Amino acid sequence: GPGILTRTLLNAGVRVVAVESNLAFLPSLQSLENSLDGQLKVIYGDFFRLDPLVTGKVKPPALCSDELFETMGVAALPWREDVPVKVFGILPQRKERNTLWRLLFALYECSSIYKYGRVELNVFISEKEYKVLTAKPGEVRAYQALSVLWQVGCEIQLLHMEPWSSFITNLKNGALAIPKSVCLPNDHLCLVRLTPRQNLFTGGLKPTNSSTFVFMVKQCFAKPTSRLADRLNSWSLGNGGKLLSEQEIPESAETRNLYPEDYRRLFEALQKSNMFTGTWFHDEVLESIRNIN
Every domain of the chain and the residues it spans: 1-74, 77-202, 209-291
What pLDDT, on the 0 to 100 scale, is given for residue 174?
A: 47
Q: Is the pLDDT higher at 46 or at 173?
A: 46
Residue 274 has what pLDDT? 64
What CATH architecture applies to the domain 77-202?
A: 3-Layer(aba) Sandwich (3.40)
Q: Residue range 133-139: average pLDDT?
A: 96
Q: pLDDT category, 195, cuts 50, 70, 90?
A: very high
Q: What is the pTM for the complete model shown? A: 0.90
List Cβ<8 Å contacts ≥24 apart for 7-11: 9/88, 10/36, 10/39, 10/40
Q: 81 or 55: whose pLDDT is higher?
A: 81
Q: Is the pLDDT of residue 46 over 90?
A: yes
Q: At what angle do helices 210-222 and 145-153 cross, to 10 degrees?
A: 150
Distance CA 194, CA 198 (A): 12
Q: Residue 123 above 60 pLDDT?
A: yes
Please say if the pLDDT value at position 199 is more than 80.
yes
How many residues are listed for the chain in this entry?
A: 293
For residue 267, give the H/E element and its range. helix 260-273
109 is in an annotated binding site: no
Asked if residue 88 lies in contact with residue 5, where contact means CB atoms within 8 angstroms, the answer is yes
Residue 38 labelled as part of a binding site: no
| Segment 217-262, tens digit of pLDDT | 999 999 999 999 888 887 756 677 888 888 899 989 999 999 999 9
**pLDDT tens, position by position, 59-84:** 889 999 999 999 999 999 999 999 99
Measured CA distances, 184 to 9, 103, 226 (Å) = 32, 23, 23
pLDDT at residue 114 tops 90: yes
Average the pLDDT over 125-144 and give the result: 96
Cα–Cα dist 50/198, whole Å = 24
How distant, in Å, are the alpha carbons of 22, 69, 145 from that of 43?
A: 11, 11, 34
- The single-letter DSSP state of residue 194 is E
Residue 278 has pLDDT above 60, yes or no: no
Residue 268 has pLDDT above 50, yes or no: yes
Q: Are 83 and 120 in contact (CB under 8 A)?
A: yes
The answer on whether 46 is annotated among ligand-binding residues is yes
